[in-house]
């Protein structure tokens, strides 16, 4: 009974806080003004992702009190995610130089990995590989990339919220299937936090998430995936499959921009999902298409890896192939005036 009540409280808290943040942003003219690099055409309040941050972080002490999540995970995740949210909040309200943001990102990633124990050995083609210190460094880059790609992909109404909800609920289902209910609470309550926000963010959005929310979601999802990897390497591959739409679009776009010599820290709208939203003339079809791809295509591959123990890397590569094809089809990373 108490567990269901906790979930309801988290949803309602996120819902109410988002509404309050929207009123605050409107009263203080904290607005996202459309420009040539925007994917929206109407000035919209921003910073609503703070509601996700507060709703989720406030429930962590409760999880600790009820002994549902280990103290090391709570300290590592909570402090790292809070730092990313603070950096994002400050950047939302006044620009922070990219080098200082990146330094903060790596500090947060290092803190989380210290408490988690770094990167565990992973199964690669049936062989358990312990990467040692190299693995810990790779894990830090992984967490920093996850939080930044989530920021990059939060460019149209509802897409970042839908992706987080799907990934979290998908992971909960996998945990249930493989008999690890103790891992369910973090992704489940994160999904609850996002659902309250999505009420305000679903297309047409009445408030945007902002860097505080998107970066927070990215690093939390990354940390939870590494937590799962310590239990089962297959679960780590499944997590990468579940967030595949974001990983492929962001990585493919970044690679093309790097090869072209673009300044990658500058705003742009050359992701596949942004081209798709302009082609279809609305954000909603693209956000719903992402949800459909997640459910119909990525979830079965994640189940194959976690439940049926098909090689995780093979499942990931097969799951990603059509996503790469979609990125190519929608000109991800291409200059807009060259499409």
**How confident is the model at residue 51, as a pLDDT?**
98
| Per-residue model confidence as pLDDT tens digits over 218-251 | 999 999 999 999 999 999 999 999 999 999 999 9
The count of other CB atoms within 10 Å of the CB of residue 322 is 15
Indicate the pTM of the whole model.
0.96
| Per-residue model confidence as pLDDT tens digits over 23-52 | 999 998 888 877 656 677 688 999 999 999
**How confident is the model at residue 1, as a pLDDT?**
65
The count of other CB atoms within 10 Å of the CB of residue 132 is 11
Q: How does pLDDT run along the chain (339 residues), one tens digit per residue? A: 676 889 999 999 999 999 999 999 999 888 887 765 667 768 899 999 999 999 999 999 999 999 999 999 999 999 999 999 999 999 888 778 889 999 999 999 999 999 999 999 999 888 899 999 999 999 999 999 999 999 999 999 999 999 999 999 999 999 999 999 999 999 999 999 999 999 999 999 999 999 999 999 999 999 999 999 999 999 999 999 999 999 999 999 999 999 988 877 777 889 999 999 999 999 999 999 999 999 999 999 999 999 999 999 999 999 999 999 999 999 999 987 654
Query: What are the boundaries of each domain within the chain?
Result: 2-338
Q: Which of 297, 262, 291, 290 is nearest to 276 (CA)?
A: 290
């Amino acid at each position: 009974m108490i567990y269901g009540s906790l979930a309801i409280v988290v949803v309602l808290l996120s819902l109410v806080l988002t509404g309050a943040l929207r009123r605050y942003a409107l009263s203080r003219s904290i607005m996202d003004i459309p420009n040539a690099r925007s994917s929206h055409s109407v000035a919209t309040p921003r910073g609503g992702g703070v509601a996700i941050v507060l709703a989720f972080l406030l429930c962590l002490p409760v999880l600790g009190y009820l002994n549902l999540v280990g103290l090391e995970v709570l300290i590592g995740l909570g402090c790292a995610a809070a730092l990313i949210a603070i950096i994002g909040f400050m950047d939302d309200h006044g620009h922070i130089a990219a080098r200082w943001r990146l330094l903060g990102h790596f500090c947060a990633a290092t803190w989380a990995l210290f408490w988690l124990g770094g990167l565990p050995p992973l199964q690669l083609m049936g062989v358990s590989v312990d990467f040692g210190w190299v693995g810990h460094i790779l894990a830090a880059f992984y967490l920093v990339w996850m939080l930044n790609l989530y920021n990059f992909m939060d460019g149209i109404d509802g897409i970042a919220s839908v992706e987080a909800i799907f990934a979290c609920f998908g992971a909960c289902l996998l945990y249930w299937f493989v008999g690890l209910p103790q891992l369910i609470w973090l992704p489940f309550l994160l999904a609850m936090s996002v659902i309250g926000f999505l009420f305000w963010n679903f297309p047409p959005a009445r408030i945007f998430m902002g860097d505080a929310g998107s970066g927070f979601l990215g690093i939390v999802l990354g940390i939870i995936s590494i937590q799962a990897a310590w239990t089962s390497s297959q679960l780590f591959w499944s997590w990468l499959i579940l967030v595949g739409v974001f990983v492929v679009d962001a990585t493919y776009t970044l690679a093309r921009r790097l090869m072209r010599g673009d300044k990658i820290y500058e705003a742009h709208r050359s992701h596949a999902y942004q081209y798709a939203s302009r082609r279809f003339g609305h954000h909603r079809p693209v956000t719903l298409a992402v949800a459909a791809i997640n459910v119909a295509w990525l979830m079965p591959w994640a189940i194959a890896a976690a439940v049926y123990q098909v090689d995780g890397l093979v499942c990931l590569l097969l799951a990603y192939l059509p996503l790469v094809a979609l990125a190519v089809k929608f000109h991800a990373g291409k200059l807009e005036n060259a499409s």
